[in-house]
């Protein structure tokens, strides 16, 4: 069902992704979840379809998708296997950090491999004591010889156990606040210790890890000027938040489709439960919720496509979509009754997978803070262009 008019998208790309989701991702999603298989098992197929470079410019071998098609592509992958979408979007964060903060040599070295899927990236910002506020981080990069001594611990880092490169954020000047943060590209090896995959409630195939760092990095590994890391992180998180909104919409789409099918086929007293008004109202609320989330994402995508800043719109889309999917997944499970609670059907997996989306890339509370700052600022930009 499509309750809103969608902008033009690349139907050929989406058709190919739909086929891949239907033939490869969906049949294995339950096994990936049950066994905790790392979603990198799909990496060769994802690479063959060009999915790992959907966000990157053509000059580096990327697909250079328009913002609207990119959103729908991520949504469809998430609807089939949210763990796979988590791996892919974490890779996008690492690649985008280099795209936005790196020089041409760094882009040439890493982005071509990232686009082809030959090199998997990880985005290492969060720490055990610094999640929502990166300025609380304790990882330091102190001058040492021809570079820096990079030392600290990162936590909940997606893809780190299989990453070919990590973008690590650290303080180069602890006294300078936001201007004291820098980003570095680090490759696995001595001085980079990755712990076992964490045990999580959902996204069991989208593995996250703790990473301990104590190594020397050369100055050429730093992305951009010293002190530019905070700006790079913010610029990277805008598309990242829109990607998480896409994951939420994709899971909600899948849950809603299941609920509609069940309502039409499940009978009580000889009649499909779809004929019950109370259930129809539940489906109506779900459809409206999903359409509203897509509408907010479209506002963000329009600004993204125009090359304008879309921080406010990305926060709104991320906030609404990730809270929306919790409602929709729960209602879809309720419509299935006891069957929805069984792991034989994907409803309980949708519910578990959706939960962390309110935490990823800035919690719902952080998004509200961002939106409020815009609302209270003088000459504040408005999400609908007023």
Distance CA 383, CA 374 (A): 10
229-265 and 277-305 helices, crossing angle to 10°: 150
Cβ-Cβ contacts under 8 Å for 166 (sequence gap 6 or more): 94, 121, 122, 123, 124, 157, 160, 185, 186, 187, 188, 192, 211
Looking at 64, 187, 361, 365, which residue is catalytic? 361
Residue 92: its H or E element? helix 82-101
Query: In the chain, at which residue ranges do the beta strands (DSSP E only) sit?
Result: 121-124, 140-144, 147-158, 165-171, 181-186, 192-194, 208-218, 222-223, 267-268, 271-272
The token pair that represents 247 in the structure block: 């994951």
Answer yes or no: 361 catalytic.
yes
Residue 282: its H or E element? helix 277-305
- The radius of gyration of the chain's CA atoms, rounded to the nearest angstrom, is 21
What helix, strand, coil percent values describe the chain, rounded to 5?
Answer: 60, 15, 30
82-101 and 229-265 helices, crossing angle to 10°: 160
Ramachandran sector of residue 38 (left: φ over 0; alpha: ψ -120 to 50; beta: rest): beta
Catalytic residues: 361
């Amino acid at each position: 069902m499509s309750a809103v008019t969608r902008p033009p998208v690349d139907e050929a790309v989406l058709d190919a992704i739909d086929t891949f989701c239907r033939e490869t991702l969906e049949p294995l999603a339950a096994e990936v979840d049950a066994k905790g298989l790392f979603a990198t098992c799909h990496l060769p197929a994802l690479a063959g379809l060009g999915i790992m470079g959907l966000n990157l410019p053509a000059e580096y071998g990327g697909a250079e998708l328009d913002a609207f098609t990119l959103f729908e592509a991520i949504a469809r992958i998430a609807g089939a296997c949210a763990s796979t979408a988590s791996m892919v979007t974490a890779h996008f964060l690492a690649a985008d950090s280099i795209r936005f903060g790196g020089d041409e040599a760094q882009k040439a070295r890493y982005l071509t491999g990232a686009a082809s899927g030959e090199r998997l990236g990880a985005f290492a910002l969060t720490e055990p004591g610094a999640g929502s506020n990166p300025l609380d981080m304790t990882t330091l990069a102190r001058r040492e010889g021809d570079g820096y001594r990079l030392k600290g611990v990162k936590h909940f880092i997606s893809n780190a156990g299989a990453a070919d490169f990590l973008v690590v954020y650290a303080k180069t000047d602890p006294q300078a606040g936001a201007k004291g943060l820098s980003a570095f590209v680090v490759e696995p090896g001595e001085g980079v210790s990755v712990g076992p995959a964490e045990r999580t409630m959902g996204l069991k195939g989208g593995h996250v890890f703790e990473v301990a760092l104590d190594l020397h990095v050369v100055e050429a590994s730093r992305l951009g000027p010293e002190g530019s890391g905070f700006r790079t992180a913010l610029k990277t998180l805008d598309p990242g938040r829109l990607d998480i909104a896409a994951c939420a919409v994709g899971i909600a789409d899948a849950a809603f489709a299941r609920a509609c099918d069940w309502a039409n086929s499940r009978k009580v007293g000889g009649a499909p439960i779809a004929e019950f008004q109370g259930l129809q109202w539940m489906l109506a609320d779900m459809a409206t919720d999903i359409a509203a989330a897509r509408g907010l994402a479209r506002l963000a995508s329009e600004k993204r496509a125009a090359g304008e800043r879309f921080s406010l719109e990305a926060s709104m889309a991320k906030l609404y979509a990730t809270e929306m999917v919790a409602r929709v997944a729960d209602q879809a499970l309720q419509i299935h009754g006891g069957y929805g609670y069984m792991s034989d059907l994907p409803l309980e997996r949708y519910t578990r997978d959706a939960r962390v989306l309110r935490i990823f890339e800035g919690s719902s509370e952080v998004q509200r803070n961002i939106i409020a700052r815009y609302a209270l600022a003088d000459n504040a930009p408005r999400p609908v262009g007023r």
